[in-house]
Amino acid sequence: MSADQFFDMPNLPLLIEQARIRLEAEKLVRQHFYETVDENTKMEFINGEILFQSPVKKMHNEATGNLYMLIKIYASKYNLGWTGVEKVLVSLTRNDYEPDVCFWKKDRAQHFTEEQMQFPAPDLVIEILSPKTAKTDRTTKYVDYEAHGVHEYWIVDPKKKQVEQFILINGQYYLRFKGSDGDIKSEAVEGFIIDVEAVFDSEMMNQELVKMLIP
């Protein structure tokens, strides 16, 4: 629905009031979320609900670990910014997420403190699909990351061994890359290029690390 269509609705004031009441109730649940979330449990607050994440499969863990290692080492080598993994809480206007991997450029990350537990929208977010989270990753999170200016969003399917890369252009995501082989180049992490197979194969990941560390 466009903004014009929304404002043309005759019952708009009633809808706004219903939304206000619901959002006020959500604030109480969100406060409870902040009081209970801890470093040992993967939790997210999405559209008024507290969601607990179940243990992941090996292929999910491998993809997460490989990407985190590659981005962290590359970004650290060139002093580009800060890389987070799994338990980093990203707080947006309405929701709180714990992306599998995320990255902030140096100009923003340099203001983070050692005791900080909530973070703004990253420059890059990577979500690894699982049967339980795939729909949310492709709908709610996609829309939310887009709306909050996350410049680059990767959706990684460990079962298909496929990566989708979306780039934000004029406030809207466009598919830049989709595939299971070939090189993928990040915009948010300047100069970062890897073979997609390195996301899913530890031997390939090690080869990419060698190329990074030994020019």
Per-residue pLDDT tens over the stretch 109-140: 999 999 999 999 999 999 999 988 999 999 99
Choose the weakest-confidence range: 12-16, 72-76, 101-105, 165-169. 12-16
Confidence of residue 2 (pLDDT cuts 50, 70, 90): low
Is 2 within a domain? no
Residue 163's domain comprises 57-213
Residue 43 within a domain: no
* DSSP H stretches of helix in the chain: 3-7, 12-36, 58-77, 106-109, 134-138, 140-147, 202-213
Residue 41 domain-assigned? Answer: no
Q: Is residue 27 part of a domain?
A: no
Residue 14 lies in a domain: no
What are the pLDDT digits (tens) for 142-165? 999 999 999 999 999 999 999 999
Would residue 8 count as lying in a domain?
no
Contact 59, 200 (CB under 8 A): yes
Confidence at residue 173, expressed as pLDDT on a 0 to 100 scale: 97
pLDDT for the residue 141: 97
**What is the value of pTM for the model shown?**
0.90
- What are residue 32's DSSP bridge partners? none
To the nearest 10°, report the CA torsion of 75, 55, 184, 168. -80
User: Which CATH number is 64's domain given?
Assistant: 3.90.1570.10
Contact 180, 146 (CB under 8 A): no
Q: How confident is the prediction for the chain on average, in pLDDT?
A: 91
pLDDT at 174 over 90: yes
Specify the number of domains making up the chain.
Answer: 1
